[in-house]
Every structure is written in C-alpha cells, then in structure tokens.
Amino acid sequence: MKKTLKNLFLVSATISSLSLQGCTTPHRNEGISNLIMNNVVRMYVNWGEYPDKAWSPASYNVAANYYHWNENSIQYRWIWPQANLRRDLYGVVNEMAMVPDEIPFLRHGDLVDVYLPPFETYNYGEMRAPIVIRFVCSADDDACQDKSKKELGGKNEVVSKGKPDLSGFTFTKKFDKTGKRLVPLR
C-alpha cells in the first residue's frame, strides 16, 4: 500500500511538473498550426472584454511575454478567443486577438471570425497579432449559433483560406498605459 501511494505521488508530481513546464513556452501542434495559420477561423470568445478596464493576458499567460506584450499593447481592445476544431482536424486553438473599432463589445460565448497570421510573425507590442474580422453572433442567440454550426460542419472551424482584406479596420487606443478606459463604451 505504501509503495502504491508513493508511486501515485511520484506520478502526480511528475505530471504537475510537466504541466507547469508546458506553461512556460507556447506549445504548437504542427498539424493544427498548418490548418489555421494565415487563415480565418470561427472562434468563440473565451475571455471577453471588460467594460471599464483594459484586458491584459500578461498576468495569466507566459505567452504574453513571449510575444512581446507591452504598455502599448494594453491600450487597445483584446479578447482571448478559442476554437474547438472537429471537422478537418481535431484540436483546440487559443490565441489572443486584437479587436478593431468596427466590432461591437465582445462577451464570453460570442462567435467571431478571427484572422490568424503565421505564428512566427506575432509581436503584440507592434500590433502584429490575430485580428477579429467579423462579429458572427452573440452567445445568447441560439438560432444564429446553430446556423453557424450547420454551415461550418462544426462550431469552430476554418472559415476561409488566406489573408483577408484588413484595410477597412481601424484600431484606436481605448485605454491609457495603466489600463484605465479613455473612451466611453459605445
């Protein structure tokens, strides 16, 4: 019994250690990367916007430092969308995405289309990151959510291949360098 508990403890400690190590550097699955890179993916908003302060992943995710999150980054709108892919390849995608002025305030569960540039080009301080290009529907619009799922063959899937035209989007600083809102929520 003692040996079994000791082995269980060692396995648990090893798994915990490995999971913590996995948090220190961004992990990429090559198959998923090849599927989504430089394409538009339908995603749901996992962590939405705050009405009164900037959203900064730096306190939640070491990847924010890896991709050069800085005080310039925090002044813009950001969300953390997620895609649970099932149709073309099974996998989960989580990427911080910049929100242009043209997109309404986003809440948890809303569906959005996100352009995901090649990962090696990400630099949040220089505003080179995934971009929300379309608000699809709100989290509480069941009919729209169901329609989207039927059209795509899954809730979150690749919507289109290649880089879309991003010239119609503007990005205005909404927060000061400390994360306080400059512009009232519209």
- 15: its two tokens: 């798994």
In degrees and rounded to multiples of 5, residue 143 shows phi and psi of -65, -45
**Taking residues 74-97, what's their average pLDDT?**
84
Q: Write out pLDDT tens, residues 110-133.
A: 999 999 999 888 888 888 899 999
How many Å apart are CA 95 and CA 112, to the nearest integer? 13
How many Å apart are CA 93 and CA 41, to the nearest integer? 10
Question: Can you give the residue range of the structural domain that contains 54?
Answer: 33-161
Instruction: Give the lowest-confidence range in 39-48, 56-65, 125-134.
Output: 56-65
Within-domain flag for 84: yes
- 136: its two tokens: 């699809």
pLDDT band for position 93 (50/70/90)? confident
Within-domain flag for 11: no
Within-domain flag for 121: yes
* List of residues 6+ apart from 139 with CB closer than 8 A: 44, 45, 107, 108, 109, 110, 111, 145
Better-predicted residue by pLDDT, 90 or 150: 150
How many Å apart are CA 93 and CA 130, to the nearest integer? 12
Full-model pTM: 0.79
Within-domain flag for 6: no
How many Å apart are CA 153 and CA 161, to the nearest integer? 16
Contact 163, 115 (CB under 8 A): yes
Within-domain flag for 46: yes
- Identify which of 12-16, 28-32, 69-73, 157-161 has the greatest average pLDDT: 157-161
- Examine the pLDDT at 30 and tell me if it is beyond 50: yes
- Domains contained in the chain, number: 1
